[in-house]
Amino acid sequence: MCGRYSLFAPREDLAARFELMDFEEIEWVERYNIAPSQNVLAIIRSSAGNKIGMLKWGLVPSWAKDPKIGYKMINARAETIDQKPSFKTLLKRRRCIIPSDGFYEWKKAGTQKIPFRFQLQSKEPFAFAGLWDRFEDNGATIHSCTIITTEANSVVKDVHDRMPVILTKEASEAWLDRSINDERYLKSLLVPFPAEEMETYSVSPLVNSPKNDVREIVNSL
C-alpha cells in the first residue's frame, strides 16, 4: 500500500527531471505529508510534451455510480492491473506518473506503529506509476488518479509487504508513451525499484495525521 508521501523538491528540479513545459502555470507549494483524497501533482503525455496538472488522489472511474468509491481506490495492484475492470482500460489509454521525493510506511512494534520514510539515496525526485480517469456527473467533473503498488523490495519489506511502483527514467518515458498499449510490456515495467538505490529512516509521529504538513516530519529521529 502507498497511503502517504511527500514532494518538496525545488520547482526547477522537478521541471528538469520531468521535462515539464508548463510547470510555472501551476500553483504548487512544498508538501511533506500528502494524503488520499487530496489534489496531487500528476503528469501525462500530450502532443506538446509532458503536461503537469492536479488530480484527486483516489480513482473515480468514469462509470462509477458514486464518487465516494475513490476513497477505496487510492492504490492499484500491479499483479492484477490488467484484470480488474476499474484499471484494465486505463492501463492502455490513461497512464500518468506522480512526482514524489519520498513515501511513508508504518512498522508495528507491539501496540505502536512507527513511521518510516523511504527515499532514493540520491535524494532526487522520482515518479510513481499511476492511472487516471475522468468522472462526470450533473455537470461536475472529477479528474482522479491511483498509485500502482507492487511487492516490497528488501529495503521496504521489513516495514511493509507492499511498496509503490517507482519508475526509472527510462520506464517513465515508456509509461507515458501513448503509442504503447501492449499490456504484457506495460506490466513488465511495474516491478520493485532496486533496493540498493534506496534508503530509509524513522520519522516523527507528526506524519500520523494528514493535518500535519510541516518540514519537521522528514527529519530523522
Beta pairing partners, 99: 127
What is the DSSP annotation of 93-148? H-EEEEEESEEEEEEEETTEEEEEEEEETT---EEEEEEEEEEEETTEEEEEEEEE
User: Taking the domains of the chain in order of start, what are their residue ranges?
Assistant: 5-218
**pLDDT at site 140:** 85
Cβ(106)–Cβ(132) below 8 Å: no
Question: Which CATH fold topology does 5-218 show?
Answer: hypothetical protein yedk fold (3.90.1680)
**pLDDT at site 158:** 94
Cβ(102)–Cβ(117) below 8 Å: yes
Cβ(132)–Cβ(38) below 8 Å: no
**Catalytic residue IDs:** 2, 105
pTM for the complete prediction?
0.96
**pLDDT at site 139:** 83
Q: In order along the chain (221 residues), what is the average pLDDT of each group of 10 residues?
A: 93 92 84 97 92 96 91 96 91 97 94 96 97 91 97 97 97 96 96 98 96 96 81
179 C-beta neighbours (distance < 10 Å), count: 5
